[in-house]
Structure 1
Amino acid sequence: MSKAARGFLQTLTADQKAEVVHSLSDSLRFDWHFVPRDRAGLNLKRMTQPQRKAAMKMIEVVMSDQGFQQVEQIIDLEHVLRVLESRPPNDTRRDPENYAFLIFGDPASKNPWGWRVEGHHISLHFTIIDGHVSFTPGFLGSNPGHVLIDVPQKGVRVQGKEEDLGFQLLASFTEDQKKKIVLGAKSPYEIFSLNKRQVEGMDKLEGLAMKDMTPPQQELFKQLLTLYLNRYHITLKNQQMAQLEKAGLGNLHFAWIGNTTLKMGKNEGHYYRIQGPTLLIEFDNTQNDANHIHTVVRDLTDDFGEDLLKLHYEKAHQPKK
């Protein structure tokens, strides 16, 4: 990751570096969102081809093949939105080139540093502290969730597996189990964690714990969980799994709100989440007649690497023996 970041910086001019590089303590690091907006940093539109290649390499290094493909497909959906909304080719609201890169700190040093790539429906954050990588928040969305119009991308469901497996897991539960799992009939308009620096108001574990599921249900639940972690490089996935196992996989809960039957092309809003002491995963498909998906992975103990950074700085200021 450090090599890829340094390689990207080497392609930039002095003025571009001034836009891209900020202090790790800069509050800009926590100013994140997944909606179309003007973004700090250097976006793809203002990069040369070698710079774009080096920027995308940064993403490729930290994601799995599956995750990197999703990122590319989400960017490509901006072309679909231009057609859906009858926007001109030079439109800047639905813009496949408005994905911006920021680096916080110095990737060539041994000090903590981090970086972010962000644009419509993509907000990926990585913080490196003493060899440990925090890779949350990690937001990926897709609009349309299912491309139905006559374009080259017709039929694409970037997050179809996340949706289908969620419904498959829900269908495996008995009616008594669903009484615990289904929290309401109307899906929320948006994920509950939103774009906040820290997850708030979600301290209560709701739904059904994995330890209370049957073995086949637990297997489906694990498949859904790992589908989200498989977006990332295997080292990062294994790091998160080790943390979850330490906290107790059985303590992870599954909860659902909204429509409980998948009806392709004429769906109704639905939402689910996986939540435990250390992890929150949210899936929401409510907007645009339930054809607009938002998903996020949050680390409830170490988003943005904040807890690890605190520990790092506390150790740095301890008196030497």
Structure 2
Amino acid sequence: MISCVFLATCFVAIVADAHEAHEPVVVVDSDAMRQAVLAWRSTLGPELTRQASFEFAGPVRTDWHFVPKDRLGVNWHDMNLEQRRAAHNLLRIALSSQGYFKALAIMSLDEDLRRLEASRPNAQNVRDPERYWFALFGDPSSDEPWGWRIEGHHLSLNFSSVTGQVVSVTPAFFGTNPAELRDGPRAGLRVLGTEEDLARDLITSCTPAQLKTAMIAETAPGDVIALPGVEINFGEPEGLSAEEMTDAQQALLRNLLDEIIGNFNAELRERALDELEDAGFDKLHFAWAGSVEVGKGHYFRIHGPTLVIEYDNTQNNANHAHLVWHSPDNNFGADYLQRHYAESPHHQSAK
């Protein structure tokens, strides 16, 4: 079996080599993810297929979490080498190279937590880099809506497909503990470091007048606000609007968005960015809470008509980060599903 730690460590070199060679971006065909899901399912056999499969319209699909606990579905431990290869191929197709690296690196951090929390009761089982589950919703081989998820500690990626296309990748959660590894062979690794640095560059570029608008609280909240099971209702966007930003600040905001949305494959990234532009880039707001100093607790939010992105790094002396991307009207494909069912009422019992 190939460990997530080994894969994540090796993938740093792979990504670096790809950037050095200036390899072109590979555009993923809209049907590629469906075929990758079916290929993985075909390796499972009857028992694991039953374990992996749930109703699309049932409660399991929208019951997402990011804490270390058991999930429903097929765990990495359940899979043999062939099944793991197919699962990794699915991840590579769904995500960009940077997103694939981040997902594997997040999983691998549990190996470091085992070491750092060696005295914690049951740490060997709770901190497990293979304690992640794949689940399928509906039947990807049919014309009905379907979806899939990979989820475990600090990772929850939810894909929803309607009428053959993947129309939602939210909620999407990436977390890192530690946010920065400060000892051991991977000391200095910051899986979500680029997101934090770009956001800090943006807030520190603000003039005193802009800061009065962008800074929404002196103290950062203890976590992201739109947690699992919490209604996404922030009201009117807070913070500094893109319209109020300079060209240089708008470029920083675009880079920050691209870093987050760019965790997904090229097709999904372009669709999300197009929707953002169609809704009005100027309507986006950037808000900050807490300190702007490196190593101190902070929080930022990007809020616009099509998305809410939150990032929080306050726990463990500001060394434990959470990043979540929501589509308020289209989490789990809700908006597309509503339209689909309105046009095809006889499909409302999609399984």
- TM-score scaled to structure 2, two decimals? 0.86
Residue in 1 that maps onto 2:182:
148
Gaps of 5+ in 2: 1-32, 347-351
Conservation of the 8 A alpha-carbon contact between 1:182 and 1:256: yes
Using the TM superposition, give the Cα deviation of residue 87 of structure 1 relative to its aligned residue in structure 2, in angstroms.
5.5
User: Equivalent residue of 2:219, what SS?
Assistant: coil
Q: What is the distance in 2 between the residues matched to 1:112 and 1:64? A: 24
Residue in 2 that maps onto 1:280:
308
Instruction: Say what the alpha-carbon RMSD is for the aligned residues.
Output: 1.4
Conservation of the 8 A alpha-carbon contact between 1:80 and 1:153: no
- Percent identity over the alignment? 40
Conservation of the 8 A alpha-carbon contact between 1:271 and 1:284: yes
C-alpha spacing 1:197/1:108, structure 2 compared with 1 (3 Å): farther
Q: What is the distance in 1 between the residues matched to 2:317 and 2:287? A: 22
Residue in 2 that maps onto 1:235:
267
Residue in 2 that maps onto 1:75:
107
Using the TM superposition, give the Cα deviation of residue 5 of structure 1 relative to its aligned residue in structure 2, in angstroms.
0.7
Using the TM superposition, give the Cα deviation of residue 90 of structure 1 relative to its aligned residue in structure 2, in angstroms.
7.9
Residue in 2 that maps onto 1:259:
291
Using the TM superposition, give the Cα deviation of residue 179 of structure 1 relative to its aligned residue in structure 2, in angstroms.
0.4
Using the TM superposition, give the Cα deviation of residue 30 of structure 1 relative to its aligned residue in structure 2, in angstroms.
1.0
- Count of aligned residue pairs for this structure pair: 312
* Matching residue within 43, 54, 64 for 1:11: 43
Conservation of the 8 A alpha-carbon contact between 1:198 and 1:303: no
Q: What is the distance in 1 between the residues matched to 2:123 and 2:92? A: 27
Using the TM superposition, give the Cα deviation of residue 10 of structure 1 relative to its aligned residue in structure 2, in angstroms.
0.9
1:168 is the counterpart of 2:186: no
Q: What is the distance in 2 between the residues matched to 1:156 and 1:87? A: 23
Q: What is the distance in 2 between the residues matched to 1:120 and 1:298? A: 18
Residue in 2 that maps onto 1:136:
170
Residue in 1 that maps onto 2:129:
96
Conservation of the 8 A alpha-carbon contact between 1:21 and 1:102: yes
Q: What is the distance in 2 between the residues matched to 1:56 and 1:87? A: 32
Residue in 1 that maps onto 2:153:
120
Residue in 2 that maps onto 1:48:
80
Q: What is the distance in 1 between the residues matched to 2:123 and 2:205? A: 47
Conservation of the 8 A alpha-carbon contact between 2:114 and 2:123: no
**Amino acid in the other structure paired with 2:340:** H
User: Equivalent residue of 1:238, what SS?
Assistant: helix
* Matching residue within 39, 57, 64 for 2:96: 64
**Amino acid in the other structure paired with 2:150:** V
Conservation of the 8 A alpha-carbon contact between 2:157 and 2:172: yes
Residue in 2 that maps onto 1:188:
221
Residue in 2 that maps onto 1:303:
331
Q: What is the distance in 1 between the residues matched to 2:328 and 2:118? A: 40
Residue in 2 that maps onto 1:30:
62
Conservation of the 8 A alpha-carbon contact between 1:24 and 1:114: yes
Q: What is the distance in 1 between the residues matched to 2:192 and 2:51? A: 32
Q: What is the distance in 1 between the residues matched to 2:61 and 2:280? A: 31
User: Equivalent residue of 1:29, what SS?
Assistant: coil
User: Equivalent residue of 2:185, what SS?
Assistant: coil
Conservation of the 8 A alpha-carbon contact between 1:99 and 1:118: yes
**Amino acid in the other structure paired with 2:317:** D
**Amino acid in the other structure paired with 1:297:** W
Q: 1:153-179: per-residue Cα shift (whole Å, max 9, x none)?
A: 211000110111111111110011000
Q: What is the distance in 1 between the residues matched to 2:165 and 2:313? A: 33
Using the TM superposition, give the Cα deviation of residue 132 of structure 1 relative to its aligned residue in structure 2, in angstroms.
3.2
Q: What is the distance in 1 between the residues matched to 2:128 and 2:119? A: 10
* Matching residue within 204, 211, 214 for 2:243: 211
Conservation of the 8 A alpha-carbon contact between 2:117 and 2:123: no
User: Equivalent residue of 2:66, what SS?
Assistant: coil
**Amino acid in the other structure paired with 2:91:** I
Residue in 1 that maps onto 2:52:
20
- TM-score scaled to structure 1, two decimals? 0.94
Q: What is the distance in 1 between the residues matched to 2:257 and 2:336? A: 24
Conservation of the 8 A alpha-carbon contact between 2:242 and 2:284: yes
Q: 1:85-115: per-residue Cα shift (whole Å, max 9, x none)?
A: 0169982111111100000011111211000
Conservation of the 8 A alpha-carbon contact between 1:148 and 1:154: yes
Conservation of the 8 A alpha-carbon contact between 1:22 and 1:103: yes
Give every structure 1 segment of 4 or more consecutive aligned residues whose post-TM-superposition deviation is greater than 2 Å: 87-90
